[in-house]
Chains A and B, each alone.
Chain A
Amino acid sequence: MALILSKFRSDFIKMILVFIFFVTVPLWISRVGLYNYIALEILIWCIYGMGYNFALGYTGLPSFGHGAFFGVGAYAMAIYQIHWGGDSLWIGLLLSILAGVLAGGVTGMLISHRRGIYFSLLTIAFGQMFWFLAIKLRDVTKGEDGLLNLQRLPANFGLFSIDLSNTDSLYYFTFALFVIVVVMLWFFIHSSFGYVIRALKQNETRAQFLGYNVTLFKLISFTISTAISALAGGLFALAQQSAFPDVMSLHWSGIIVMMTIIGGGLVSFWGPILGVIFYFITRDIVGGMTEAWLMWFGGTFMLVILFQPEGIAGLWGSLSKRFLTGKPALPTVSTPQEAQHEPV
């Protein structure tokens, strides 16, 4: 344990700084002209982004259909409350996660033997399928109207129960889950499992020759990622007190990809968080000035892809390196993909 602590000291310092940042947000957010609900939304999307980046950044699975799993989680929570009359927060969230495991597992089984771009195309197809089902299964989902009037169920700990109907208390509950997800992902990534998935991200064929069942590893990693996305979806349903098919569309699946990459998910564990914060803050600021804010966001994303694929985290890394050493930074941490890319 001491060894782990010393080896990953900077990781832990960053982690604690991130936690401190999020713990204090409700205290100052209204003073900087924002509002508490956006903090909750940002935190939920951070969980989603972290889950997504486990597939994209760490396993090299460029999924364009993750919105489906986020949505599946939201619907699990909504169906549990509306159709089954459920009133336990824990069961609701558990069902969200299970729904994500099930939907992601089935999808993963059908597509995880695919690689690269083919994989992306199939995630789009499956994402659209789930989205389509959410719109068309009107008896269950109420179609495009969505399932409304969900309760923010209290967190019942047996001896005592915490009311989450207020946005700040739901925020802190979400924060607790965020901490669990982040710590869990960190340990996944630094376990032997994590080294295998990072190896297969760099070169799948080579990992296969080393004797790893790459399809199975991809399937497991994809399913972990969808389960976390679905958990975020369940929380989103609580926050919005409703579940809509909208978040499952290709459009929203693309937004999480863009957030993750702009933030620097390809090179940094914390990339998705930076990207999510960037998205929501600029949406509120730029969106207040122009209706065409998505155009600006898309344009920013195109520039990031061309000139700064390492995103905000990469930029920060190279700037701080330059600041600390006084030398011009090396072209940041080159992504394993680029470094290992071999023309085929």
Chain B
Amino acid sequence: MAFIIELLPHIFNGLTIGLLFALIALGFTLIVGVMELINLAHGSLFAVGAYLALATMSFFGASGFTSPTLLQYGAALIIAPIGVAILGMGLELGMRRTYGKEPLYGLLFTYGAALVIEEGIRQLWSSNDQYFPTPRIISGGMMFGDLIYPKYRIFASIFAIFMIILLWLFIERTKVGAIIKAGAHDSEMVRVLGVNLTVLRLFVFSFGAALAGIAGIILGPIWGVRPHMGVDAVIPAFLIVTVGGVGSFWGSVIAGIAVGLTSGITAYFAEDWSLMSIYILLAVVLIFRQRGLFGKASSLDT
């Protein structure tokens, strides 16, 4: 029993991180679906989200290590993703010349962009780790019987679940969502049906970027904010997409949770190896299922 009690926080930690990973992966897979583009800058956009949130909070008067007010935090939660979306738009406009070429060119372009963004962050905000303060109401711990669990992680999980449901409703219940789904299935056909593909791509890319930015804001207080955090996020994200299957919504969510749980539970037994366990999970899934758990054939196969 003591063993279970000790393991529980790790399971919860894994769940929280997994849900946030799923959020990053969903933005990633939306872009893959509609644009047939692996966005290696996705992690950098995630990092920019966290930095912009810090900048927004200090702009509205929050200072250093003190807890921001709800208003300051809320402002960050709205303004930073918009900033990331604008940056994403800039990237999409820049990479238009790569459309119609091999998907490799888009991948390479976004790799260059990732390098530029990461170095840009170092220049603007220094290489040091930064502390991301949270409002008082979601700081501190909560008691569950004998167990103390950080309130912030509970908030982060609920927020991620809320975002995932919202995203699902958006894709399944709105007209734009239907177009995105159709675009992921066959973007040429969608163009033939009179949808402006240029606008759709611009929208989907900046929307995916904004999701990455939001995940960055939520994960910032858990991981700490540093220029390198983008790589730490983008690799699990595409592992999740590969495990879950490209283009599958629930595949990404389930794989995200599976990846989070695997790393969380491994962390209990061997702290150092939690990241490695993710790769082993990936290898196992891919050996038994070529396109991941829920993947369908896509143009990226060829």
B101: chain A residues within 8 A (beta carbon): 309, 337-338, 341
A205: chain B residues within 8 A (beta carbon): 302
**How many chain B residues have a CB neighbour from A under 8 Å?**
43
B119: chain A residues within 8 A (beta carbon): 292, 294-295, 298
Q: Is the CB of B123 within 8 A of A118?
A: no
A132: chain B residues within 8 A (beta carbon): 275-276, 279
A118: chain B residues within 8 A (beta carbon): 242, 300-301
Q: Is the CB of A292 within 8 A of B123?
A: yes
A–B Cβ pairs within 8 angstroms, 21 of them: A116-B300, A120-B104, A121-B242, A122-B286, A125-B279, A132-B275, A133-B276, A136-B276, A251-B115, A254-B115, A257-B111, A261-B108, A294-B115, A295-B116, A295-B120, A298-B114, A298-B116, A299-B116, A301-B108, A305-B112, A344-B302
Q: Is the CB of A305 within 8 A of B188?
A: no
Seen from chain A, the residues whose Cβ lies within 8 Å of a Cβ on chain B are 62, 64, 110, 115-118, 120-122, 124-126, 128-129, 132-133, 136, 204-205, 250-251, 254, 257-258, 261, 291-292, 294-295, 297-299, 301-302, 305-307, 309, 337-338, 341, 343-344
Rounded to whole angstroms, the CA-CA distance of A27 and B295 in the bound complex is: 58
Nearest Cβ in chain A — how far from B243, in angstroms? Answer: 10
CB-contact partner of B98 in A121, A129, A305, under 8 A: A305
Q: Is the CB of B276 within 8 A of A301?
A: no
Given A302-B116, A343-B188, A344-B299, does the pair A338, B102 have CB atoms closer than 8 Å?
Answer: yes
Given A295-B120, A301-B112, does the pair A125, B239 have CB atoms closer than 8 Å?
Answer: yes
Q: Is the CB of B302 within 8 A of A306?
A: no
Q: Is the CB of A298 within 8 A of B300?
A: no
B97: chain A residues within 8 A (beta carbon): 306-307
Nearest Cβ in chain B — how far from A254, in angstroms? Answer: 6
Q: Is the CB of A295 within 8 A of B115?
A: yes
Among B103, B122, B300, find the residue whose CB has the most chain A CB atoms closer than 10 A: B300
B55 in the interface (beta carbon within 8 A): no
Nearest Cβ in chain B — how far from A216, in angstroms? Answer: 18
Among A110, A117, A258, find the residue whose CB has the most chain B CB atoms closer than 10 A: A117
B111: chain A residues within 8 A (beta carbon): 64, 254, 257-258, 301
Rounded to whole angstroms, the CA-CA distance of A305 and B94 in the bound complex is: 11
| 7 closest cross-chain pairs (CB), A and B | A298-B115, A295-B119, A302-B112, A298-B116, A301-B112, A344-B299, A117-B300
CB-contact partner of B94 in A117, A257, A298, A306, under 8 A: A306
Rounded to whole angstroms, the CA-CA distance of A324 and B190 in the bound complex is: 47
Nearest Cβ in chain B — how far from A257, in angstroms? Answer: 7
A291: chain B residues within 8 A (beta carbon): 123
B38: chain A residues within 8 A (beta carbon): 117, 120-121
Q: Is the CB of B115 within 8 A of A306?
A: no
Rounded to whole angstroms, the CA-CA distance of A51 and B154 in the bound complex is: 49
Among B38, B105, B108, B300, find the residue whose CB has the most chain A CB atoms closer than 10 A: B108
Q: Is the CB of B108 within 8 A of A305?
A: yes
Given A132-B276, A136-B273, does the pair A115, B301 have CB atoms closer than 8 Å?
Answer: yes
A295: chain B residues within 8 A (beta carbon): 115-116, 119-120, 123
Q: Is the CB of B94 within 8 A of A302?
A: yes
B286: chain A residues within 8 A (beta carbon): 110, 122
